[in-house]
A and B are shown apart, each in its own frame.
Chain A
Amino acid sequence: MALNLTINANNPPLGALLAAEHVKSSVQVSVEEGKDNRLHISDSIQFSDANSISRYLARVAPALGLYGSNLMEQTEVDHWLEFSARRLCDQPSLTAVLGELDKALSLRTFLVGHAITLADLSVWAALKDHSDWLSQGKSFPHVSRWFSFLTSQVPFSSVGNKYASKKA
Chain B
Amino acid sequence: MGGASTFQPITLVSDWRSSPSVTNMALRELASLEKYLGLRKPNKYSTQGDKKTPVLQNNAAPPLLGLVTIACHLVKEAKRPELLGDSAESRAVVQQWLEYRVTKVDNCSKEDIKIILKDLNLYLHDRVFLAGNRFTVADVLMYYGLHPLIVDLTVQEKEQFTNVSRWFDHIQHHPGVRHHLPPVAVLRNRIYTSRHH
Contacts and interface: CB of A to CB of B under 8 A. Distances in A.
Nearest to B124: A145
A29 to B, nearest CB: 26
Interface stretch (B76-84, B95-103, B144-152, B182-190): B182-190
B189 A107 contact: yes
Contact of A107 (B126, B127, B128, B186): B186
A106 B190 contact: yes
B125 A145 contact: yes
Contacts of B154: none
Contacts of B17: none
Interface string A118-144: 000000000000000000000001001
Interface string B167-181: 101100110000000
B136 interface: no
Contacts of B167: 109
Contact of B170 (A106, A109, A144, A148): A109
Interface string B39-71: 000000000000000000000000000000000
B133 interface: yes
Contacts of A148: 133
B32 interface: no
B: contact size bracket: 20 to 34
Contacts of B170: 109, 114
Contacts of B166: 106-109
A79 interface: no
Interface magnitude class on chain A: 10 to 19
A106 B162 contact: yes
13 contacts: A103-B193, A106-B162, A106-B166, A107-B162, A107-B190, A109-B166, A109-B169, A109-B170, A114-B170, A114-B173, A144-B126, A145-B126, A148-B133
Interface of B: 125-128, 133, 159, 162, 165-167, 169-170, 173-174, 186-190, 193
Instruction: Please provide the 10 A-B residue pairs with the shortest distance between their CB atoms, ordered closest to farther.
Output: A114-B173, A152-B133, A109-B170, A149-B128, A145-B126, A107-B166, A107-B188, A106-B162, A149-B133, A109-B128
